[in-house]
Chains A and B, each alone.
Chain A
Amino acid sequence: MSLYANSYSIRHKYLIDGYDLRSFRSVVVGLTLSGTAPLWIGIFIGAIIGGLAEIWGISNSDVLLKLSKWEDRLFINCIAIAIGAGAVLLYGLGALGVSFHFGIKPDYVIGVALGGAIFGTGVAVSGYVPGTEWMALGEGRREAIYAVFGGLLGAASWTVVYQSSVGQWLVGTFNLGQVYLAGKAGTDLDTGFLVAIVWAALMFGVAYYLPRYSGGKSCVYMATHPSREMTQVELREQQETAKSLTKGSAMPVGDNDHLAYSANNHWAPKSDLRWLLTFVGVIIGAVVVLEMFLHQIFGESTTYSWVVGYLWLPSYSYSQLVFKTIGWEPYSDIGTLFGAFLAAVFVSRRFQAFNRWIPSTWQARFGASELTRDIGVFIGSYLVLFGARMAGGCASGHILSGDLQMALSSIEFFAIVTASLLITGRLLYGGTKGVKSK
């Protein structure tokens, strides 16, 4: 990585009320770093996010299946914190002159919407997004093998469709280009910072007021009100969540495994890790900003297209496009798997060693057949990757990195995915009422 002293990005006038902002910035920033890191550094970026997400529990497909029933909204809580904190950090540093590798996705309205709808349906079936498939593999979840193969087939399907007239129509019709809430990508960062503050307030509001479980309080509220006693419903949900996280593990927990206990019960009032895991989104948002400083945005689904491109479809135009632009994403995907693996073995003790395991939400609806579940995971993951590649990104590239950059395409994607996820979850699993009545 090369470093350049005082390499300011001169975008606007510098004089306000007679003061030279360049002097001000040189005092505040001192040394502006700009450069691009070697690709293998991506392993560390992926490992941090994969490790934290594993401890948090999202590599367990039951977490997203419960979200599809609107039963456990931890994912929304955490991602909102990451988006809000990351947006303020990104545009704040950008306004001060720090250079970033922005990666705002173009908003081709129809393709992004259709891709988001397919993606949300796939998540409700499989319980995975592209990144959590790698995490689940690192956690030794057997069903993740089928998820990865389904994902590769989904990515291959989009590679074939892309160069057809249908594919070109989807990515070319109503294409608004690379725009974010303050204008064209990478421009007007001072205004972007002001908008980011409002955006962050909205995100933090969601994180604070959206209860994790129905009738309870949000994770942020619980962490900032340690004296509040949980309701009976919340206590029951907390115990079920802890059980759901650890079920199927191949690692027994002993008397001295306090860290594992805290990780698996982080929703409990006196867990040592409760504060950390409530605000883990801040760390994830900061890591994404760091990644954008070092090389590129955080993404997880392009690697699937890259792999199928090299193995089976090298001459397709979409593969050629991916080969030229993917950057360190294969390494950060490896890092995601790696981080989840380390966290599962050294912290949470949730490494499953490929034991037989079926998520409780799926089992309650479709039974205990592992074959049925594996087929469901394969089909669901196929839809996830097909939809992600159609829309140009996934939960990482669009929902995390994209919404953190306040990209219009990513806001549209997030909204459509949420609607599709909840509708499909309702149709498949019957919603929260169906479970409670059992």
Chain B
Amino acid sequence: MTEAHSAVQRKDEKDVKLFVALMSVLMIVVAALTVGSYSGYSPNPSSVAITGFVLLVTVLITAVWYRTKYPEYSRED
């Protein structure tokens, strides 16, 4: 099996991956703190909203990081 690699040089991504990991922990902590031990069937909309917001911000910042790190890159091979 031969491995085909991208034409664009792969760069160091440790910083963005650390950011993703930290934000992931933050999101779970936010969800756990805001919903508490509630185990019923009617979730708190504010808890869902803040949890989802943290996640979407993480996704968007990660997207900006990659678009900045690899400008105009879109894999075609």
**Contacts from A to B (Cβ < 8 Å):** 1, 36-40, 43, 137-138, 140, 243, 246-255, 257-258, 261, 265, 268-271, 295-296, 310, 323-328, 330-331, 334, 337-338, 341-342, 345-346, 351-357
Report the bound CA distance from A420 to B22 in whole Å. Answer: 44
Closest CB of chain B to A436's CB: distance in Å?
23
Is B10 a contact partner of A257 (Cβ separation < 8 A)? yes
**Chain B window 43-67, contacts with chain A (Cβ cutoff 8 Å), 1 for yes, 0 for no:** 1010110011001001100111011
Complex CA–CA separation, A351 to B28 (angstroms): 21
Distance, CA A404 to CA B52, complexed state (A): 29
Q: Which residues of B lie under 8 Å from residue A255 when comparing CB positions?
A: 3, 5, 10
- From B55, B73, B76, give the contact of A337 (CB < 8 A): B55
**Chain A residues in 8 Å Cβ range of B74:** 248-250, 352, 355-357
B59–A341 touching, CB < 8 Å: yes
In the complex, chain B residues whose CB is within 8 Å of the CB of A257: 5, 10
Additional A-B contact list (9), CB under 8 Å, known A268-B1, A330-B52? A252-B7, A252-B8, A254-B9, A271-B1, A296-B41, A324-B41, A330-B48, A342-B24, A345-B20
- Per the CB 8 Å criterion, the residue count for chain B at the interface is 44
Question: Which residue from A39, A243, A334, A354 sits with its C-beta under 8 Å from B63?
Answer: A354
Contacts A261-B3, A334-B48 given; does A38 touch B35 at CB 8 Å: yes
B45 — which chain A residues lie within 8 A by C-beta? 310
Query: Shortest Cβ distance from B47 into chain A, in angstroms?
Result: 8
Q: How far is the CA of A247 from the CA of B63 in the complex (A)?
A: 16
Cβ–Cβ < 8 Å partners of A40 in chain B: 28, 31-32, 35, 47, 51
Which A residues lie within 8 Å of B3 (CB)?
255, 258, 261
Supposing A252-B73, A255-B5 touch, asked if A331 and B63 sit within 8 A by C-beta, the answer is no
Closest Cβ of chain B: how far from A322's Cβ, in Å? 10
Count of inter-chain pairs, beta carbons less than 8 A: 136
Chain A residues within 8 Å of B20, by CB: 341-342, 345-346
- Chain B residue numbers with a CB within 8 Å of A270 are 1
Task: Give A346 to B21 CA distance when docked, in angstroms.
Answer: 10
Of all chain A residues, which has the CB nearest B72? Answer: A355
Determine the chain B residues whose CB is within 8 A of the CB of A39 once the complex forms. 35, 38-40, 43
Complex Cα–Cα for A99 and B67 (A): 49
SS class, residues of chain A in contact with chain B: loop
Which of chain A's residues have a CB closer than 8 A to the CB of B9?
Answer: 252, 254
Closest chain-B Cβ to A94's Cβ sits at a distance in Å of 21
- Nearest neighbor of A303 in chain B, beta-carbon distance: B48
Residue of B nearest to A270 (CB): B1
A435 to chain B, nearest CB (A): 20
Docked complex Cα distance between A283 and B38 (Å): 27
Contact B75 A247 (CB under 8 A): yes
Per the bound structure, the CA–CA distance linking A324 and B43 in Å amounts to: 9
Contact in complex: A351, B55 (CB < 8 Å) = no
Which of B5, B27, B38 is in CB contact (< 8 Å) with A253? B5
Task: For A338, give the chain B residue with the smallest CB separation.
Answer: B55
* 23 residue pairs from A and B, CB less than 8 Å apart: A38-B32, A38-B38, A38-B39, A39-B35, A39-B40, A43-B31, A248-B75, A250-B70, A250-B75, A251-B75, A253-B4, A253-B10, A254-B5, A258-B3, A265-B1, A268-B1, A295-B39, A326-B41, A327-B40, A338-B27, A341-B58, A345-B20, A351-B62
Chain B residues with CB below 8 A from A325, complex form: 41
Known: A40-B31, A140-B59, A330-B48. A353 touches B41 (CB 8 A): no
Question: Are A346 and B48 within 8 A (Cβ)?
Answer: no
Contact between A331 and B41, CB atoms less than 8 A apart: no
Bound CA–CA A138/B58 (angstroms): 10
A247 to B73, CA, bound (A): 11
Given the complex of chains A and B, what is the CA–CA distance between A346 and B76 in angstroms?
20
Sort A-B residue pairs by CB-CB distance and give the 9 closest, nearest first.
A254-B10, A252-B6, A353-B63, A40-B31, A249-B75, A353-B66, A252-B8, A36-B39, A250-B66
A312–B9 alpha-carbon span in the complex (Å) = 48
